Structure 1
């Protein structure tokens, strides 16, 4: 049926409206692409991207992803940056299907993405090949895990841990190949010791940042697959002089140096002597922030002089259950640092690992209970409270 004049005018108006909406949408996409790439947080599209700033890591040539743009960050003065940290991550067992979930780390992805820089420990080899080593537990995943973590707001991962080489030399070769094509930096492992200890360096909101990773856990991995002068493997904190030299070198050109360690004793919520002495040495060498995992429970955090130390973040995206009390308690720690190399504050977001292995932020009495127990852990860690972060 032919349209009359009124219907034709209405159709013309609707066509013009559609063109205006398309133009506005294209402009929004252009703005988003200028700042970064699109990603999903809790199923909603958001913009990832920080201003173009220096970012280098020779072992990871792929450019790292940026952070989610937020009003709070844009209001922060230049020379102040936020660093978010969480604990152990696996994509196996009950969390294997998280590789296809959006976002893989669940609701707390938004907490990680809100910081200028965020980091977790990927406690798995990246391989589908190789031979399981002579140990009780073996973990592995595919390179898709690195993309899933990027899309969950993570900027870098450490693989300096006791499961990075669970599948022997073949698995290690695959892991190093995945490192080379990773969308985010993979730290603490490399084709030789120089690469394994090499820091990831970047500048965020005017703060020059250097991040290193190493493992202090005495196990088969540190015994057989420690990176050497011309052999691949993990960065070993058991070679304390090498780690301290790397920190001093990083401090010479960075405002803030972060060291993410694998250390401590499984199930122990208080640091052991090897941890406390290493933390002291790292602080003396120039580390601004020293954090770590391995015990499967949280350990105390706070200030060691002017250095922020978190001895243990516990499990985060967790493949199964742990036999230790409160091992399902976890969270995200966000540390504010300045261009002067100072820690300006720290905030802990309490969470629980659910029956599906996914961590979720808590509120009310549950949050208060987790936070209270976490604060009490500072006593045996002999640390002072961190400054309260300001908005």
Structure 2
């Protein structure tokens, strides 16, 4: 009898881009390293009612962009057993009437294993298990350098985390150590592939004797990139600035209308799948401290100037950057110019070695554990 290959389902939620990117990184790695594996990735928001999608995605985007203080209050209040319990109950009630297509997809796909990169699918699937008697093991990949109480749930097979500090916190919260794997945060395998920086600089016309600065607005263009660029225009030194606007077409057009002084060269890029190339040719990366972007910078050994952290998860990522001397936080335009003049602490090699330990990427470690 021929043994059937495992079927793995990866589920993300498109609140921000990090959860989706992490899921795609695992999918891409699986197809490279395990080509015969049956694996798929879905965004849960594509299989719920329009009302639920609008409520979750648009509310999140509104809070982190326009009402960060409200998001900070919600994040911190629910990062504790008392309030997170109420959110779980509301989530279950909401899922009961909004996730029929989601349940149908999972029933038809018949996965042997489920990996999620967001907590919401966990509560939906737990209801499905009770209703249909499904016993599929489920693991969660935490995509920041801090774990939230809502990410802890009964019957989770594995928690894949970014650091030993997170392992300790989860263990103190009652999760057995055997269920916690310090895998790191999964990023696109292209970041691990060797490339010639001198060749890339020629391709992208990046000067060798001038500081090359990469400015990332985030996948959804949440950072105040316009203000950052105009601040950089005040630099006394020559700069080559590459600004990535992401999916924000309005921002891209605004940046293209800027007129830099003669000593500044500005290149404006919209959405691109060549972020690793732009990072490799840069000397400094100015970015929001998302979990995946932070990890990408670490792997490519690029110093970070973190700006506009989303209250909650990105504040903890910024804390990780400072703790490990991976960069600095610029809270004002004056801070930005100060760090450009002063310089940024060099990245300690031990962090890079931890992430590369055993010559496996985070996505490979996750897949190897799941396929045991």
TM-score, normalised via structure 2 length: 0.32
More strand by share: 1
Larger Rg: 1
More helix by share: 2
